[in-house]
Structure 1
Amino acid sequence: MSRKKLKLAFISNDMARKTTYKRRKKGIMKKVDELATLCGISACAVISNPFDSETEVWPNPEGVNKVMERFKNASVLNKSRNVNHESFMMQRIVKAQNELKMQREENYEKEITLSMFQFMQGQNLPSTVEEIKEIHKMIEKNIKEIENKLAALHCES
């Protein structure tokens, strides 16, 4: 049975916010415990309590210190495998920029191809020298592709 979508918003009622905090904190602690038990890993949780100055830790302060020390002493290779949010977002940005660049190049090539076909039909004459040069490059590229295909066909027969 699926749950309805949860609306994430600040809970303005103090009592409701405190009870929700306690309930969700308990749920997070349970999930961390399950993760550590089922996967056989060292895990910890540190939760800053907004209602008093205590910071709550799981399983205990010594366990948290042990896990944090192990993380701090991890090799550079392991640290690079543990990607943080900032580096993840930077990777996504670089990937999106590369995709955008490739799409722009593809669109430009399609525009030149369309201009070439329109020019060949006498519909739209190129207006600049640069446009003529680009059409010439496209024609040369197409001729080379045709020659390569013909050579491949002659090799097969």
Structure 2
Amino acid sequence: MTRKKVKLAFITNESARKGTFKKRKKGLMKKVSELSTLCGIDACAIIYSPYEPHPEVWPNTLGVQRILAKFKRMPEMEQSKKMVNQETFIRQRIVKANEHLKKQHKDNREKEMTSHVPMFDWERA
């Protein structure tokens, strides 16, 4: 059974928003844990909440500090190599989509050219 598509918009009802936050936070923490376990990588999560005075961290405070220290020890070029902000990410996606569109246009032209080649009419010859 498939789930219905969720409209991504601010939830105005405070109790519904709080419930959704708790469910999504639990799911996010589970995903980070699974990613770390399945792929054998160092991962951490820090979630600030308007409902709690202190941020929730995974796996624990010392684990997060260890991972952040490891990140900070990396050269700056290495740190920022794969980091993008939302604008850069969207620009990259647009470029990739345009390249895909050009390839599709080219493929379609080739298919049109090969499918519209007149056949020799042997009966008239």
Relative to the length of structure 1, the TM-score reads: 0.53
Give the share of equivalent positions with the same residue, in percent: 48
- Count of aligned pairs between the two proteins: 96
* 2:47 maps to amino acid: I
Secondary structure at 1:57 match in 2: strand
Q: What aligned pairs does 1:1-157 form with structure 2 within 5 A after superposition?
A: 1-85=1-85, 88-89=88-89, 92=92
Q: 1:57 to 1:2 in 2, by over 3 A?
A: same
Select the structure that is richer in helix: 1
Q: 1:91 to 1:76 in 2, by over 3 A?
A: farther
Structure 1 position 18, deviation (Å) = 1.1
RMSD: 2.5
Q: 1:81 to 1:88 in 2, by over 3 A?
A: same
* 2:7 maps to amino acid: K
Q: 1:80 to 1:20 in 2, by over 3 A?
A: closer
Bigger Rg, which one: 1
Partners of 1:89 and 1:65 lie apart in 2 by: 28
Structure 1 residue ranges (4+ consecutive) displaced by more than 4 angstroms after TM superposition: none
Partners of 1:66 and 1:52 lie apart in 2 by: 24
Structure 1 position 91, deviation (Å) = 6.4
* Superposed CA offset, 1:124-151 (max 9, x none): xxxxxxxxxxxxxxxxxxxxxxxxxxxx
Structure 1 position 88, deviation (Å) = 3.1
Unmatched tracts of structure 2, length 5 or more: 100-125
